[in-house]
Every structure is written in C-alpha cells, then in structure tokens.
Amino acid sequence: MIESLDLTRALAALPVPLPPGRPVTGEEGEGRRPLLWISDAPAPDGLWERLHRAHPETGLWPLLLAPLDGGPDFRPWLSGELYPDQASDLSHHDPAVLLRDWWDSITPDPEEDDADLVDALAPYVRTWPGLAPAAAVPDGAADREARGLAGFLQPGRNVRLGLVRADSGAEALVACGWSGPVNHENDIAKIAAVLAGWERRFGARVVEVGFDTLQLSVAVPPATLAEALPVAAEHTALCSDLVFQGTGTLTAYAEQLVGSHLWHFWWD
C-alpha cells in the first residue's frame, strides 16, 4: 500500500487541474487527518479518466462519490461518517476464507426444512463452491473498462469527484474509512480484501462509491452461466441482498452476470 503522505502535497503536485473542492476528514481518530479530497460540485466529464491515467505518478485514486438519496449533506462524504481507524490491515485477510465464512452464515441449518432458502441458493446451498477460476485479463483491459464505466456513470448525475491516496480502488475504501456495508461487515478491510481479489482475478475496478453502494467495472466477466454461477456465489456471500431482496435465486442472479462489465452492490 502507498505510504501515507500529506494529501495537500499530493494534490498540489497533480499534473491535472482540479475544479473547486476541499479535503475531508473523518469524525474521529488520527488527528482528524484529511482522508480524501472531494469536488464541490459534479466534476467535468472526462476528468475521472484523466486522473485515473495519472494515478501511477500521483498515487491518488479517483472515485465517483454518490450521496445517500434525499440526504441534505452529501452523506457520508461531507457528514463525518468516515472511520479509517476501525479498519484492520487488508493484507491480513484471505478472500477465500472470508467468502466461505459469509456463505456459511447465510445457508440453511441442516436440521431445518427451509425449502425456499434451499431453492434460492441452489445449486450450492450448504456446499461452498470455492473461488471461481481467475480469468485471463488482457493488458490494459481493466483500465479501459474502468474509464469507460466512469464516462457512462458520470454525465447528468449528482456524483462528485473524490481522490484518495491509495494503490487501488479496494485500498481506497480502507484509506478513506468508508462504512457502507456496516450492517453486513463492520471491518471494511475484509470487504476490500474480496474486492482486491476480484481486481486480480477479473480485472475489476472500483469506480463509484455511494452511501452503501458500489459500482465496479469488470474487464473479463463470466461468458456462460456455468462460469457465472460460482461468481454469483461469491457476490451473494459478500452481499446476500442481491439474491434475497433482488433476483430471488442465485441462478437468476448468475444469468445477469453473463457478459456484464458492471457489478453493482448495495447493502441495507
């Protein structure tokens, strides 16, 4: 992970001009140090891409930041609801172990006859399938998909530009103290460890972050239902509402993943 440097100095060295904006600090801990920079208004189209291209030199990962719908103060980004001190070390977590444990927590008790839950999680149910095989990600494909998704998501929406000192989008979530999945997991480093695994295996990139939502670009999505099913199991372990409050069955959700370069997550 990039060593923590003064955010103001990093911003001052940017080769790309920024619109008006401000540094944001968390509510508590670490001397209320700046966690990220956020624009004061929706950023000009194309700026995310330019900053993303500059990331290898600047160390500042760009994010599109969305607010809680109907919120008066652009939550959580301007309301102090960022908690970096509550995160553990991302490198200490194994995505395979995390996902298996989360999957076990949502599967039915063998002694209970819960036909609806069995149907929802078929074909795996009580048997965790393990991690989906890694895809062969062509050079440059992950960055191209990320820039394309940012260009698609940004125009005409109430999303601002954020910059976080981090090596990747997954690490940026830890660095800024995002707590969107708190009702599922209150240690964002565990969520980020899974995302980092997807960055490596599928060329996924964190593009947009909301109050409790994530939008990821995917360079190499599953091409068939057979490929999509174990990926869908990983998604459901991380965010079970995708099935339980969404498609209704794991298979129906897997069908949506076939060929899709956008992965969307939301937590109540």
Put residue 80 in one of left, alpha, beta given phi > 0 → left and psi -120 to 50 → alpha: left
Q: What is the pLDDT of residues 132-166, one digit of tens each?
A: 999 999 999 999 999 999 999 988 899 999 999 99
The pLDDT, as a whole number, for residue 33 is: 79
CA gap 152, 73 in Å, rounded:
25
Q: What is the pLDDT of residues 82-128, one digit of tens each?
A: 999 899 999 999 999 999 999 999 997 776 767 888 899 999 988 89
pLDDT surpasses 90 at 18: yes
Q: What is the pLDDT of residues 36-64, one digit of tens each?
A: 999 999 988 899 999 999 999 999 999 99
CA gap 178, 83 in Å, rounded:
7
Q: CB of 41 within 8 A of CB of 136?
A: no
The pLDDT, as a whole number, for residue 111 is: 66
